[in-house]
Structure 1
Amino acid sequence: MLRVLIALLILLCALACVVGGTWLGVLGGSWFYLVLGLLLAAAGLLLLAKRAVGLMVYAVALLATLAWSVWEVGFDWWALTPRGGLLFGLGVLLLIPAVRRSMRYKTSQIAYTGMLSLSLLVSAGVAGYALTQTQGIPGAFSEERMTAPVSEQVAADTVPEGEWHAYGRTAAGQRFSPLAQITPNNLGELQEVWRYHTGQIRDGADPGETTYEVTPLVVDDRMYLCTPFGTVITLDPTTGEELWRFDPQLKQPPTVTTQHMTCRGVSYHDAGPAAEQAQAVNNNGMDNAARLQMSASEVTDKAAGVAQNVAAGQAMSGDANPQVKRDVGYAGGAVGICRKRLFVPTSDGRLIAISAEDGSICPGFGGDDGTVNLWANMPNVTPGSYYSTSPPVVTDKVIIVGGAVNDNASTTSPSGVIRAFDIYTGDLVWNFDSKKPDSTAPIAEGDTYSENAPNSWSVSSYDPELDIVYLPMGNQSPDQFGGNRNDAVEKYSSSILALNASTGKVEWVFQTVHHDLWDYDVPAQPSLVDLNIQGQRIPALVAPTKQGEIYVLNRVTGEPVLPVTEVPVPQGAAEGDFTAPTQPVSAISFNPPTLTGKDMWGATMFDQLACRIQFQQLRYEGRYTPPSEQGTLVYPGNFGTFNWGAVAIDPDRQIMFAMPVYLAFTSKLTPRDDGTSRIVTKEGEPIINENFGAPYATTMGPFTSPVGLPCQAPAWGYVAGVDLTTGETRYQRVNGTVRDLAPVPLPFEMGVPGIGGPIVTRGGVAFLSGTLDYYVRGYDLRTGEERWKSRLPAGGQATPSTYLGADGRQYLVVVAGGHGSTGTKAGDAVIAYALPKE
């Protein structure tokens, strides 16, 4: 009976291989599966007939599969396993004595059994050898490099050593701490010191992209953080005790147009004596009653007629826009409690100033309610379609705010305008509308900004010495069709944009993708660092991108510091569109090799075969293959090789530490019959990828097998160390396990995706919590080796921070709240670690 069962399983495998293999071969892929299917069919039929020669035929099939697999992928264990794992297991079952006894006895049965045994031993030997092989780039920085003296810091880095004042610690965005208590030698001794729960966790009623991405700030022995719902919480950083919280009382619940609910952080500003001077100036002769023009709630009421229209995702350019007057701010006597203040962006389109001392409102910033209404002068007011997800940039004069505009909902989205408000009064100082780049003077009260103008949704950097703000720029919708973009949009989309922080005038622009059709908007904060190259000190910025290029530019001029080369890319865009002939490739590039059929993967040979068939059906000619009605493979995908977590820069050692991620996505264009009907979503569902008003809707998603695994072979995630003076990648190590991704919690280190960023310290360590398994990890910065990890109660898709506690110990703090888009477990934990007390 057992023999019959095994023979039937072999025949089922044969059937799948013959049918799938024929399909794959006709599509232009490998014919091996068909050959294998015929061998397995012969073996299965012989075994059903009790013919021992079936063992020999099966052995031939197993050895042929092994030889073919090694020829395709070498000795990569994770690539070999799905090709031969099931066949190996069935071969072992065929050696069970009861199976062999059930066959007709012949002297030759011994030889056939021996051949099968030999094939299994050879397969096991190859597998054992493959387990000793490693992926990535082994290497390390020299000991001399790691003992480099402390260098002169850029002007933006004037922050006390034990504190963390901004998302990237300083306005330079390096994510580097000069603290050195924790080293590679004692890293393994880190232990949890305290754990705090915010009490706010996403649930099924929240938008899918409700994500906890905050990096806590630590200033003057206070820790400041926000939740995805805009609540600001202040903790004692040494004990984790809650000191106070501020609830912005969101005025607009999530709607079908709400794509995001997140808060990456708040912004801190200490006005110092300048605040008193500002108060005196702004109170001189002004009537308080005339200062507050319109509250946020009044703006919502005034926009109701338009909001009803756009709630269905059908905002049209001809619709009447609410004419929202700018709020005129005043100091209002609030300086005493608001000399130290936090700026809080909310998901209903407000920017609120609160006291960093006690969380009370700072009246005078925008009005009595301490609020600037970010919907002011916006076209197409749509609840949930626009707000600032990232902490604004603070200078000594202005606060500079970008915003997230819903991707691929409509060609009549709100504007991606970038605005600067007076740091004390909230008055509009300048606005940069990328469709009207020369008109930076504050917009007139009755005018509106350009609809669907490219935005800047991520974190920006600031150089106070140059008075330049560096903004990572996105695209106008839709991302996958650009036939209707004007010259200004073409110039500023997917670029690093340098603006004068006081005037909003363009200093320079460097485009990272020409005519972007892949949602390769620049997602990450540029890091400012002075590099020592060939004996010269060069003011530079380091800009990571979704497509895997890391551009090192002169932050004064925008010219490349490390070489950038224009290379030809695939052509042939959809009807009505075009493709750029070349794209810029940097000396530091994490662009993966072009995928082929042999790179397809699965848990078994069958879902791997399905992935190979799917691969052959998609259009794919390498990176920058244009979107198509056929369906296009996009690799790297719009998840990004790098995303908002950015990279970490050690300015002394001139080292970059990064987490490159490799996941392929697919996109398919569907022609629209009209500009308003739903094509790819159902009524009541969130409006994503409909592209109302464009010629095509888009279907997008990860490139996965029928069982939901990535179709491309692992590893999918690494950590890497780069020499910024030469552009050389010194190491790239597989990072993360599939414990929280697989149906069974197996701790296989396959290298998993992640979102969130790393930090580095003068102690020579790096920390990272963004991988999709639930761990925070510590690494030796010199080698990239993992030296410590701690289990998290939920997804840790945020960037940690580190600081000096009141007890003199260096702390690491990380948020574990999960990420809705990646499906990691939701939570509300804030966890701090430190070395044991001496």
Structure 2
Amino acid sequence: MRRFILPLITAATLVIATQFTDQSSDEEWPEYLGGPDRNHYSRLTQITPANVNQLQVAWEYHSRDSGQVQCNPLMVGGVLYGITATNQIFALDAATGKERWRFAQPGGGGLNTNRGLTYWQDQSDRRILYASGSYLYALDAVTGKSILAFGDNGRVSLRAGLGPTAKDKFVISNTPGTLFEDLIIMPLRLSEGADAAPGSIQAFHVRTGKIAWVFHTIPQPGEFGYDTWPKDSYQNKDVGAANNWAGMALDRKRAILYVPTGSPAFDFYGGNRQGKNLFANCLLALDARTGKRLWHYQIVHHDVWDRDLPAPPNLVTLTIGGKKIDAVAQVTKTGYVYVFDRVTGKPLFPIDEKPAPQSTVTGEVVWPTQPIPRMPAPFTRQFIAEKDLNPYAANKAELLETYRKAKKGFFQPLSETPTLVFPGADGGAEWGGAAVDPEGIMYVNANEMAWLFSLSPTPKSDELTHLSPGQRLYTTHCVACHGPNRQGNPTSGYPSLINIQERRDRAFVTKIITNGKGMMPGFASISSTEKQALVAFLFGDEKVEATAKAGKETAMPYVPYRFNGYNKFLDSQGYPGIAPPWGTLTAINLNTGKHLWQKTLGEFKELTQQGIAPTGTENYGGPIVTASGLLFIAATKDGKIRAFDKKTGAILWERELPAAGFATPSTYQINGKQYVVVACGGTKLGTKKGDSYIAFALP
């Protein structure tokens, strides 16, 4: 899961009944990432390596709602469905980009980032399902109107099956749900602090919104894995998460659902949750009808590094030793790919349990080993030596000093001394995931950014009595990301809150505290009086803050250590502190485990102009691959979309977008013409805002 800072409440994934999916045309893009196998693959062939350089803008849809958009749009029956920066759902004519309808929730949508919608159809009943805030909604796909018979007046709570400990806690969804027959199984994004809700997997009935089944990722008494946690962890107030937030894959023929899970919470200290902590950081295979566990594999034991499984797995058919095997492949933040028999869960390449360092933090007991596959080879570097520091940095001596003081190495536990975490907090692989073609070749983009993580003792409540009510709340909830002096960490994505009253009003800030925005989670559990005190502190209004002292403060679960924030290891100019490449695209033959090629992905124009070879950039959003031999990807900080030859990795075409496209493209064909469309919202990584979806086609 991507940190307690990114409250993503995604537009629900397009729901598709089995009969509808099986009949859907190769010309459509009916589900998130192209289909239930999550392979980002299209059989279309009109755009080829020979003519891709002729692509032109076919249409551009301006939503008039600018801001980050991570949506992978759907196309069904000639209609393109997408979502805006503030979660307004729209339907367009897929050939012209002309708007057919648009839906905005009464009272305004969530401030979260969404990655897609779900479309479901049973004869004339056609629905769009999407998540906003803590709810799952259903719309009529033809008219865009709410389906009031779904749940309670068109919505159901995403907390419905989580139990009493989830009450009033932060629960949203930023990734589309997965459809099986008339069930939709929803990913959840939760807090990553000690106040996290449990991350149970929930299936809802598409027609009624009622819960069909629940799988407990923090096992309850009598369930497999219960003994991998301290007794009754499932109902402890200071233990939670182990949730799926990245999305799932589905083998519809076998009715097997593949669920990658994230870390338990609190993310960075596990002294209160000693043990392996099943089913956190697992690839789970569940019976899609009942939620029964079929098999699992834990990829990180007792995670204290936030090493969530960051993307849906890929369902592939491989040829190994002359035998065809239906397989499931999972990419990871660490840059490894784990490949299993889809039915039995048996690893298809050997995996070794390697000794890992022990913690020096009081009360922490990390697991003594971690599983590392022998093949495929990792698609990112695994270690950074002194020789690997940024050779272009103006402050090389400072970088070297920071590097030498930091703890380093394989699964190095966090402590009060900064630990150099590499690959970093956002991978390796990130939520965009990998594309795989029918030949079993995986194409995965990756970040190569080191981060500095550390812990510090958590002040006890009696140590904070000298602070004002608002400052106490800020110290408890906000310091890790925005800093002790409210200065933020803009280079790592956390804005300064100094003089926020000059940029925002109290109502807006209060809404963000409650619901979250972008990477920030909401704090729905703190009282209205406490929110008033916190806002008064941020606005420097001591008089108002003083009047907000009344009432008992919300008791937060106590964990002896707190996280000191997500700090990128950067040089004095804001470039990565390590040598390039800083972003890559890799082709891996999953049949053999061997890499076919690796290319840098993205560039900094100002460095290229200095004669430095393209360095690659941080990138968010995945690739798509087509039967004609092309790979399309946006994702990069430089704001371009590119087409690569999938066989060689050569760039065949590139185009600058209206704003950076931190989203996975879609491709479809209508009226005999193939289109490639991508959402261009920008804002992430300091890029400019955008509000458009742009489609490319041949003349």
Superposed pair shares fold, TM > 0.5? yes
Question: Relative to structure 1, is the Cα distance of residues 414 and 238 closer, same or farther in structure 2, using a 3 angstrom cutoff?
Answer: same
- Asked if the contact 2:274–2:302 (Cα under 8 Å) also holds between the matched residues in 1, the reply is no
For 1:582-617, what per-residue CA distance to the aligned partner results, in whole angstroms no more than 9, with x for missing partners?
A: 22222122241421112111544x411110011011
Distance 2:235 2:206 in 1: 22
Distance 2:208 2:613 in 1: 55
TM-score, L = length of structure 2: 0.79
Q: Indicate yes or no: 2:579 matched with 1:713.
A: yes
After TM superposition, the structure 1 = structure 2 runs for residues 625-664 of structure 1, keeping only pairs within 5 Å, are 625-651=412-438, 653-664=439-450
Report the alpha carbon displacement of residue 486 of structure 1 after superposing the two structures with TM: 5.5
Q: Indicate yes or no: 2:620 matched with 1:833.
A: no
For 1:353-396, what per-residue CA distance to the aligned partner results, in whole angstroms no more than 9, with x for missing partners?
A: 111111112232213x221122335535447x220111001111
For 1:202-244, what per-residue CA distance to the aligned partner results, in whole angstroms no more than 9, with x for missing partners?
A: 3xxxxxxxx3110010000000011232211111111010110
Q: Choose from 352, 372, 394 the match for 1:585.
A: 372
Q: Choose from 238, 254, 262 the match for 1:474.
A: 262
For 1:508-560, what per-residue CA distance to the aligned partner results, in whole angstroms no more than 9, with x for missing partners?
A: 11111111121110010111111122222211111110011111111112111
- One-letter identity of the residue aligned with 1:245: R
For 1:427-470, what per-residue CA distance to the aligned partner results, in whole angstroms no more than 9, with x for missing partners?
A: 11111222235789xxxxxxx97752311111111111221111
Question: Relative to structure 1, is the Cα distance of residues 373 and 553 closer, same or farther in structure 2, using a 3 angstrom cutoff?
Answer: same
After TM superposition, the structure 1 = structure 2 runs for residues 315-330 of structure 1, keeping only pairs within 5 Å, are none
After TM superposition, the structure 1 = structure 2 runs for residues 528-607 of structure 1, keeping only pairs within 5 Å, are 528-586=315-373, 587-588=375-376, 589-601=378-390, 603-604=392-393, 606-607=394-395
Q: Indicate yes or no: 2:70 matched with 1:213.
A: yes
Aligned match of 1:357: 142
Question: Relative to structure 1, is the Cα distance of residues 752 and 453 closer, same or farther in structure 2, using a 3 angstrom cutoff?
Answer: closer
If asked which structure has higher relative contact order (CA below 8 Å, sep 6+), I would say 2
- Asked if the contact 1:397–1:502 (Cα under 8 Å) also holds between the matched residues in 2, the reply is no
Q: Indicate yes or no: 2:30 matched with 1:165.
A: yes
Aligned match of 2:5: none
Question: Relative to structure 1, is the Cα distance of residues 407 and 744 closer, same or farther in structure 2, using a 3 angstrom cutoff?
Answer: farther
Distance 1:428 1:439 in 2: 22
**Which stretch of the first structure deviates more once superposed, 758-767 or 707-716?**
707-716
Secondary structure of the equivalent of 1:379? helix
Distance 2:63 2:259 in 1: 31
Secondary structure of the equivalent of 2:617? coil
Q: Indicate yes or no: 2:28 matched with 1:241.
A: no
Q: Indicate yes or no: 2:656 matched with 1:791.
A: yes
Report the alpha carbon displacement of residue 568 of structure 1 after superposing the two structures with TM: 2.4
- One-letter identity of the residue aligned with 2:385: T
Secondary structure of the equivalent of 1:629? coil
Report the alpha carbon displacement of residue 826 of structure 1 after superposing the two structures with TM: 1.8
Across the two proteins, how many residue pairs are aligned to each other?
584
- Asked if the contact 2:436–2:442 (Cα under 8 Å) also holds between the matched residues in 1, the reply is yes
- One-letter identity of the residue aligned with 1:216: P
Q: Indicate yes or no: 2:676 matched with 1:812.
A: yes
Question: Relative to structure 1, is the Cα distance of residues 705 and 250 closer, same or farther in structure 2, using a 3 angstrom cutoff?
Answer: farther
Distance 2:410 2:24 in 1: 41
Report the alpha carbon displacement of residue 252 of structure 1 after superposing the two structures with TM: 8.0
Distance 2:196 2:108 in 1: 20
Aligned match of 1:98: none
Question: Relative to structure 1, is the Cα distance of residues 577 and 473 closer, same or farther in structure 2, using a 3 angstrom cutoff?
Answer: same
Calculate the aligned-residue CA RMSD, in Å.
Answer: 2.6
For structure 2, the 5+ residue unaligned runs are: 1-19, 224-233, 462-472, 487-496, 498-512, 524-555
Q: Choose from 158, 165, 171 the match for 1:379.
A: 165
Q: Indicate yes or no: 2:545 matched with 1:761.
A: no
Distance 1:387 1:745 in 2: 45
Secondary structure of the equivalent of 1:733? strand
TM-score, L = length of structure 1: 0.66
Aligned match of 2:537: none
After TM superposition, the structure 1 = structure 2 runs for residues 135-150 of structure 1, keeping only pairs within 5 Å, are none
For 1:729-784, what per-residue CA distance to the aligned partner results, in whole angstroms no more than 9, with x for missing partners?
A: 01111221113x87999995111121110000000000000011110000000001
Secondary structure of the equivalent of 1:484? coil
- Asked if the contact 1:572–1:578 (Cα under 8 Å) also holds between the matched residues in 2, the reply is yes
- Asked if the contact 1:271–1:396 (Cα under 8 Å) also holds between the matched residues in 2, the reply is no
Q: Choose from 42, 45, 64 the match for 1:180.
A: 45
For structure 1, the 5+ residue unaligned runs are: 1-154, 203-210, 255-260, 273-335, 441-447
Distance 1:498 1:437 in 2: 19
Q: Indicate yes or no: 2:246 matched with 1:463.
A: no
Report the alpha carbon displacement of residue 578 of structure 1 after superposing the two structures with TM: 2.0
Distance 1:683 1:753 in 2: 28
More helix by share: 1
Question: Relative to structure 1, is the Cα distance of residues 158 and 765 closer, same or farther in structure 2, using a 3 angstrom cutoff?
Answer: farther
Report the alpha carbon displacement of residue 719 of structure 1 after superposing the two structures with TM: 1.2
Distance 2:686 2:301 in 1: 32
Distance 2:274 2:413 in 1: 19
Q: Choose from 170, 173, 188 the match for 1:388.
A: 173
Report the alpha carbon displacement of residue 162 of structure 1 after superposing the two structures with TM: 0.4
Question: Relative to structure 1, is the Cα distance of residues 243 and 156 closer, same or farther in structure 2, using a 3 angstrom cutoff?
Answer: closer
Aligned match of 1:189: 54
**Which stretch of the first structure deviates more once superposed, 581-590 or 161-170?**
581-590
Question: Relative to structure 1, is the Cα distance of residues 478 and 649 closer, same or farther in structure 2, using a 3 angstrom cutoff?
Answer: same
Question: Relative to structure 1, is the Cα distance of residues 558 and 157 closer, same or farther in structure 2, using a 3 angstrom cutoff?
Answer: farther
Secondary structure of the equivalent of 1:364? coil
- Asked if the contact 2:264–2:277 (Cα under 8 Å) also holds between the matched residues in 1, the reply is no
**Which stretch of the first structure deviates more once superposed, 567-576 or 760-769?**
567-576
- Asked if the contact 2:248–2:258 (Cα under 8 Å) also holds between the matched residues in 1, the reply is yes
Question: Relative to structure 1, is the Cα distance of residues 692 and 743 closer, same or farther in structure 2, using a 3 angstrom cutoff?
Answer: farther
- Asked if the contact 2:185–2:204 (Cα under 8 Å) also holds between the matched residues in 1, the reply is yes
Distance 2:222 2:175 in 1: 25
Aligned match of 1:434: 217
- Asked if the contact 1:433–1:449 (Cα under 8 Å) also holds between the matched residues in 2, the reply is no
- One-letter identity of the residue aligned with 2:126: K
Aligned match of 1:344: 130
Distance 1:439 1:428 in 2: 22
Aligned match of 2:636: 771
